[in-house]
Amino acid sequence: MSINIQYGSSGYQGEIMKNSYLDDCTYNSLKGVAVILLYILHFFASSNLWLPEYYLSKFLYFEKYLQHSANLCVAVFAFLTGYGFWFSSDKSFFHALKKVGRVLRVYWLIFIFFFVFAVISGIYPNFMLKKIILVFFGFSNEILCGDIMPFYWYVPFYITTLFLLTIANSFLIKYENIFRDFFYVAVFPLIIFSLVGNIFKTVSCLQRFFVDLDLWFPCAGVGFITARYSLFERLDSYLSPVINKDRKTIETVTASIVFISIIMYGMYSYPGMIYRINSSFFMPFVFNMSTFYILFFVYAIIKLLLLINFSFIKMVLITLGTNSLYMWLLNGIFFNVFKGYTQPLLIFPDFAILILIWGLWICFVLTQFFKLIDKKMTDAFFFFKHAGK
């Protein structure tokens, strides 16, 4: 069965081969779960993104427990980038450029719309060309985070991850050794990022870029290894003998929930560590515990998704997953220069679960608007291209 991937930050479309562990519905549902976690993180566990008058005091309880746990959404997206890369039928640099182009096209469309609207409305009257160019390519510093495109750091991260996986695959493909592969795609890159990041330590946006690679690229590497060495299938073979066939459903649900709870508690209590080398050539290593958790976290979610029989829940998750690129980018409207207008709109329902649903709905409606613009622009491009021949 083939998988049509329109991953929020990877740009894969219809490239998962039939021997993948995941089918189309499960893959997109996974992305849908990651989108929901992303919105929970930004809505309820990131008080620094909110204006003080709109951040409800009741959210502080969520922030305490979810600030690190909900960050697993990023780990899931990174994992799926690596997983999807392995099953891509074309792993060339040219093909990677095409996928990057699809992501950048949407990113630039939303960026230009937000920027032009902000300038015309007078919300953002003063700007520096240097800052705009940085944000245009997904780079930012602390000043820019609250301006036009907050937390869009994933754009340069994704581009770099895709090209690094392309390079790694070219020399790892000849031999199979899971431990060697783990070293090259999850450990060795940390050394390189630390070394290069130290060179640019005075450039805040570049240092942030290498810290992000340090944190999340290993999760993409784990996804790559999971796909190459069929680790999901191996987990099935290890666990199936210990599961009672007569109680398979209840035991699977119980085990999955326990796994997810332990992992989220682990992220809450010990999200990572910083290791400093006694050398001026390296910046501190920032090791993210998601690297160890992510395989089992995704596996447990998959098992739960396969047991969901409610068509409405499946439809919601698949819809969010297939639109995850837009949903990722557009939730920034609540935290950029428009937040003085959009945050009171977001908290209008007052209850956390209703705020989450309301925010997802607003961004989904905006998604349809931008997808329509994208389609019209693409159709116009091909019209004039053929008309010129």
Give the three-class secondary structure for 1.
coil
Amino acid sitting at position 168: A
Contact 198, 208 (CB under 8 A): no
Q: Which of 146, 161, 195 is nearest to 82 (CA)?
A: 161
H helical segments located in 67-153? 72-87, 93-121, 129-136
Supply the DSSP symbol for 184: I
> What torsion, rounded to 10 degrees, do the Cα atoms 258, 263, 268, 270 define?
130
* Residue 123 falls inside a structural domain: yes
* Residue 13 falls inside a structural domain: no
Query: Residues in the chain with pLDDT < 50?
Result: 1-13, 17, 142-146
What distance in Å separates the CA atoms of residue 249 and residue 258, rounded to the nearest whole number? 14
For 168, residues 6+ apart whose C-beta sits below 8 A from its C-beta are 184, 185, 221, 224
What distance in Å separates the CA atoms of residue 196 and residue 107, rounded to the nearest whole number? 27
What distance in Å separates the CA atoms of residue 128 and residue 132, rounded to the nearest whole number? 6
* Residue 188 falls inside a structural domain: yes
Per-residue model confidence (pLDDT) at position 334: 92
Number of domains in the chain: 1
> Terminus-to-terminus CA distance in the chain, angstroms?
39
What distance in Å separates the CA atoms of residue 12 and residue 324, rounded to the nearest whole number? 12
* Residue 296 falls inside a structural domain: no
Pairing of β 285-288 and β 272-275: antiparallel
H helical segments located in the chain? 24-44, 59-66, 72-87, 93-121, 129-136, 154-172, 178-182, 188-199, 204-228, 231-239, 248-269, 290-307, 311-322, 324-330, 339-346, 352-387
Supply the DSSP symbol for 127: -
Cα 77 to Cα 82, 100, 151, 228, 382: the distances in Å are 9, 15, 14, 18, 32
What distance in Å separates the CA atoms of residue 216 and residue 74, rounded to the nearest whole number? 8
What distance in Å separates the CA atoms of residue 49 and residue 67, rounded to the nearest whole number? 12
Phi and psi angles of residue 275, each rounded to the nearest 5 degrees, phi first: -120, 125
* Residue 362 falls inside a structural domain: yes
Per-residue model confidence (pLDDT) at position 175: 85
Cα 9 to Cα 148, 160, 218: the distances in Å are 19, 12, 16
* Residue 126 falls inside a structural domain: yes
Q: Which of 334, 353, 332 is nearest to 58 (CA)?
A: 353
Q: How is 346-359 classified by DSSP, letter by letter?
A: HTTT-SHHHHHHHH
Taking the CB of residue 235, how many other CB atoms lie within 10 A of it? 18
* Residue 357 falls inside a structural domain: yes
**Residue 65 structure tokens:** 């427990």
* Residue 56 falls inside a structural domain: yes
**Residue 360 structure tokens:** 């997802």
Contact 25, 97 (CB under 8 A): no
* Structural domain containing residue 99: 24-229+309-387
Radius of gyration for the chain, computed over Cα atoms and rounded to the nearest angstrom: 21
Evaluate the CA torsion angle 251, 257, 263, 265 in order and state its sign.
Answer: negative
**Residue 99 structure tokens:** 């996928």
pTM check: above 0.75:
yes
> What torsion, rounded to 10 degrees, do the Cα atoms 79, 219, 215, 367 define?
0
